[in-house]
Amino acid sequence: MTTQKQKIALITGASRGIGASITQHLASDGFAVVINYASNAETANTLVNELIKEGKTALAIKADVSQPAQVKALFDEVESKLGTIDVLINNAGILKTQALADTSDELFEQYFSINVQGVFNTLREAGSRLNNGGRIINLSSTALALNLPGYAVYNGTKAAVEAFTKVFAKELRGRSITVNAVAPGPVATELFLNGKSEEMIQNFAKMPPLERLGQPEDIAQIVSFLASPASGWINGQTLRANGGLA
């Protein structure tokens, strides 16, 4: 009898929010999980300790995804401590709504370096380092379909993520690796809630016919499916998970 090697999933921006929930799901699915984070070592390590207590394999690694050398070092560390990666979840991202005409060069650069170059950096490593038969799931946003004022630059970054998803799926021909995106509607995390009044939050919550905000769990379940063998025929697609909002 051969023993099946435990598969490895790397989740960027997994210290909190949607990424932390994806991590818990993938760990329950049997993956050894790598929790990448930018600065919140405490929350990342708390999640690792919780998972280890449950008998799961988990590791936290600090790396700013916008920095190519740090992303390369992240892949190196995962390979040396656990092995080659099977599943990459590009979840790290920022949202700071601002009218386009009021957006500073600094904010524009921050947006594109984290939300776009961050995804580019991990995809480039994954191109040569992901195991055949693997899965890549990128986080886009339903904001792209809503065209609300204040979201021009954020939507520009997520449009790039969706473009990478479609082309990279084709460039990985012959490797049995699927590349898909999930585009959530509003989800109750710091990224969405920060800076919004209760009234604004309630207005967003009423927008989808299911009349509530998404929860990290709603998105994590979909990512878990896309990371599983059951999703094997879905490739190069963006799945809009938003309660029917758009």
Q: Which of 27, 51, 61, 114 binds ligand NAP (CB under 6 A)?
A: 114
Crossing angle of the two packed helices 17-28 and 41-53, in degrees rounded to 10: 20
Structure tokens at 156: 């520009």
Tell me the pairing of strands 32-37 and 135-139: unpaired
> Residue 243 interacts with ligand NAP (CB under 6 A)?
no
- Rule CB under 6 A: is residue 66 a binding residue for ligand NAP? yes
Residue selected from 8, 34, 92, 137 as contacting ligand NAP according to rule CB under 6 A: 92
Which residues on adjacent β-strands are paired with residue 36? 61
Tokens of 164: 């990478």
Q: Are 242 and 212 in contact (CB under 8 A)?
A: no
Q: Are 132 and 176 in contact (CB under 8 A)?
A: yes
Is the Cβ–Cβ distance between 11 and 91 less than 8 Å?
yes
Task: Give whichever of 37 and 164 is closer to ligand NAP, judged by the CB atom.
Answer: 37
Write down the least CB distance from residue 173 to ligand NAP, Å: 27
> Is 37 assigned a catalytic role?
no
Stretch that binds ligand NAP, among 1-9, 127-135, 164-172, 181-189 (CB under 6 A): 181-189
Note every long-range contact of 127-130, with CB atoms under 8 Å and residues 24 or more positions apart, other chains counting. Answer: 127/168, 127/171, 127/172, 129/75, 129/79, 129/84, 129/85, 130/84, 130/85, 130/86, 130/88, 130/175, 130/177
Q: Does 93 bind ligand NAP (CB under 6 A)?
A: yes
* 45 vs 235, beta carbon nearer ligand NAP: 45
Least Å distance between CB 125 and ligand NAP?
Answer: 14
Single residue of 9, 10, 11, 18 touching ligand NAP by CB under 6 A: 18
Residue 32 tokens read as 């050894």
Using the minimum distance from each CB to ligand NAP, give the nearer residue, 73 or 191. 191
Beta bridge partners of 89: 11, 137
Neighbouring-strand partners of residue 230: none
Under rule CB under 6 A, which residues in 116-135 are in contact with ligand NAP?
A: 118
One of 33, 85, 95, 207 touching ligand NAP (CB under 6 A) = 95
User: What's the min distance (Å) between Cβ of 86 and ligand NAP?
Assistant: 20
Residues 190-219 that bind ligand NAP (CB under 6 A): 190-192
Site for ligand NAP, rule CB under 6 A: 12-19, 36-40, 64-66, 91-95, 114, 118, 139, 141, 184, 186-187, 189-192
Active site residues: 154
